[in-house]
Structure 1
Amino acid sequence: PPAPGGPGRGAPAAVPVAALACAALAAATGCRPELAVWLALAPFAVLLAVVDRRVHRLPDRLTLPLAAAAAVLLGAAARLPGAAGSWSGALLGGVVLGAAYLALFVIHPGGMGFGDVKLALSLGVVLGWYGWGTLFMGAFAGFLFGSLYGLALMALGRAGRRTAIPFGPFMIGGALAGVLLGALPVAG
């Protein structure tokens, strides 16, 4: 069994969180081909958030296959009728968000881990599917969520300016918010 406070702690909460995320994605997306992709990827994203929250690491065994799976599955979804996104936009989104996080890592390596850079590849693919607005909104939401969490910890006296917090859960939460808004049908 995992040690108290180890990576296994918090895992039971992952199941209902993943179920809620999948339900929200289904409600926002409707019966479009990309819904199958979102439902396949969401549990892995929740697992990554739990792992990062517990051990401040985003393992390559999860981040790299997630990026590949997102690209391949969205490529398949793009070939089906009714898809509401762009596969080329998804691929470009992965490159752009991955490069942006790489630049942040190079500029200030102590500010984030390289796992965040690798996670940004898959989140960029997912967000890029619905276009640039969704990509920027989801990326911004991740930074906003992380900042608000850090400020709340400082206000409660539980952290200082240099306290490390796991950023993956906020990146994933921001991406979820972006996809939920990007998936909503545009009124016409």
Structure 2
Amino acid sequence: MSDVAPRGLLLALAVTAAVLAGPPLARAAVRLAARDDAARPSPARVLSSSALLAVLLCGAVLLTGARPATLALAWAAGAAVVLAQVDLAVHRLPDRVTLPAAAVCAAALLADAALLGTWPALLRAVFAAAAAGGIALAAALAAPAGLGLGDVKLLALLGLVLGWAGWGVLLAGVLLGLLAGAAVSLLLVATRRAGWRTALPFGPPLLLGAVLALALGGPLA
């Protein structure tokens, strides 16, 4: 019972945080997409952002419990809610979201290592971020039309978070992201809502793949 009570409290805090942070995140997404600081999100967007964030934050709690690494997952979740909306709207992944998220996640994982001794996981996360970002950068330079620098930075961020969880989680996240992107592309082509050469946002499928990989990886606490 002692384990159930703290976890229930953490989940309640996660939902409360989502209710409080959802509206500002929805507003940030709309303003970044429109490049207009006066833009306002619709009630439906605020509700969906808050609900999605609640699911992601509760997932972070269930995966890691109460530890500094949970903050890394939570902050990455908030960034994902904004990045996915902006990328879907204007095919752009703003540095104003990605870079601070990487800094906060790195600091949280460093604190986790200092307090809990998870240095191997931190080292793996750093190497994974460098590997994912480096490979993505090479792909972007080889085919700029297929992968943008925003995607490169996002992959480095996902490499940091997923690499901390394990190399298998990172590989699964990238693979699931690619499969999700391919499935969406085929669906849009089949329904004639896009052509074979239509540029589609790559960020949301990558983020979905990362979430699925973490969920399939099971508790990390």
Instruction: Normalising by structure 1, report the TM-score.
Output: 0.87
Aligned positions of 1:1-188 closer than 5 A: 8=41, 11-12=45-46, 13-81=48-116, 86-184=121-219
Distance 1:185 1:62 in 2: 26
Indicate conservation of the 8 Å contact 2:158/2:210, yes or no.
Answer: yes
Q: Cα distance, 1:28 vs. partner?
A: 2.8
Going by fraction, where is helix more abundant, 1 or 2? 2
SS at match of 1:112: coil
Indicate conservation of the 8 Å contact 1:126/1:179, yes or no.
Answer: no
Structure 2 unmatched ranges of 5 or more? 1-26, 36-40
Q: Cα distance, 1:104 vs. partner?
A: 1.4
Indicate conservation of the 8 Å contact 1:105/1:114, yes or no.
Answer: yes
Distance 2:34 2:187 in 1: 24
Q: Cα distance, 1:141 vs. partner?
A: 1.1
Distance 1:48 1:85 in 2: 29
Indicate conservation of the 8 Å contact 1:53/1:166, yes or no.
Answer: yes
Q: Aligned AA for 2:103?
A: A
**Residue aligning to 2:6:** none
Structure 1 unmatched ranges of 5 or more? none
- Cα root mean square deviation, aligned: 2.6
Q: Aligned AA for 2:102?
A: A
Structure of higher CA gyration radius? 2
Q: Would you say how many aligned residue pairs link Structure 1 and Structure 2?
A: 185
Instruction: Name which of structure 1's ranges 79-88 and 125-134 shifts more when overlaid on structure 2.
Output: 79-88
**Deviation readout 1:40-81 (Å, 9 max, x if unpaired):** 321111111111111110111111122222212111112223
Distance 1:170 1:105 in 2: 17
Instruction: Name which of structure 1's ranges 83-92 and 168-177 shifts more when overlaid on structure 2.
Output: 83-92
> What is the identity percentage for the equivalent residue pairs of Structure 1 and Structure 2?
39
Q: Aligned AA for 1:130?
A: A
Distance 2:120 2:81 in 1: 23
Distance 1:6 1:61 in 2: 14
Instruction: Normalising by structure 2, report the TM-score.
Output: 0.75
